[in-house]
């Protein structure tokens, strides 16, 4: 059992993240006392999106190139179309995802975030959900894709869209506390 107040949570994102899918889980974790680190493939502030419109920016705390997954208790992958599409081309992002899965630590991905999981080849045989437009990609990667607000399959937590964030946050916090 992990006390959420002592948990170390890693969020990986880059330009094009869906603003609510990064900021709201991050704030929910901070409100519970967790230490949250945002890592990116760049050091400049990254650009959030509110659907198709530019949103707020946030400066990453660390580079994905320097991240040791062993230093963290859980991983969060926000959606947004461009964010996971860019991150799935980053070998260090794939390494981070694979390491979290190999260690059985909680991994939470929302909306388009599971695209990164498919690229990391960790979804085969897993039940999960996502934004509708990537479901075929996830099925082709061997996932059992369902249309539910939040899906928990062992250490994997997934949700479909911003409206699901409250359920996503609750499942994430519960998974961290149970780890």
CB neighbours of residue 55 within 10 Å: 17
Q: Which two tokens stand for residue 148?
A: 């539910």
* Beta carbons of 96 and 73 less than 8 angstroms apart: no
Question: Any catalytic annotation for residue 112?
Answer: yes
- Around Cβ 135, how many Cβ atoms within 10 Å? 18
For 48-75, the DSSP string reads EEETTEEEEEE--SEEGGG--GGG-SEE
Active-site residue, selected from the candidate residues 26, 105, 112, 161: 112
- Residues contacting residue 175 through CB under 8 Å, at least 6 positions apart: 74, 106, 108, 152, 155, 157
Rounded to whole angstroms, how far apart are CA atoms 83 and 170? 23
- How far from the centroid of its chain's Cα atoms is residue 94's Cα? 12
Strand partners, 11: 38, 76
In 3D space, the residue among 131, 70, 60 whose CA is nearest the CA of residue 90 turns out to be: 60
- Residues serving a catalytic function are 112
């Amino acid at each position: 059992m992990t006390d959420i107040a002592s948990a170390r949570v890693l969020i990986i994102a880059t330009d094009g993240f869906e603003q609510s899918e990064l900021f709201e889980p991050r704030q929910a974790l901070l409100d519970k006392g967790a230490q949250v680190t945002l890592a990116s493939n760049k050091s400049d502030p990254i650009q959030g999106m509110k659907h198709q419109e530019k949103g707020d920016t946030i400066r990453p705390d660390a580079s994905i190139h320097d991240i040791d997954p062993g230093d963290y208790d859980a991983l969060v992958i926000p959606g947004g179309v461009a964010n996971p599409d860019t991150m799935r081309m980053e070998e260090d992002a794939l390494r981070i995802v694979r390491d979290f899965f190999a260690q059985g630590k909680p991994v939470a991905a929302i909306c388009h975030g599971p695209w990164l999981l498919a690229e990391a080849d960790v979804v085969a045989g897993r039940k999960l959900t996502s934004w509708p437009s990537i479901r075929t990609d996830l099925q082709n990667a061997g996932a059992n894709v369902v249309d539910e607000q939040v899906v928990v399959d062992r250490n994997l937590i997934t949700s479909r869209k911003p409206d699901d964030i409250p359920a996503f946050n609750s499942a994430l916090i519960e998974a961290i506390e149970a780890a």
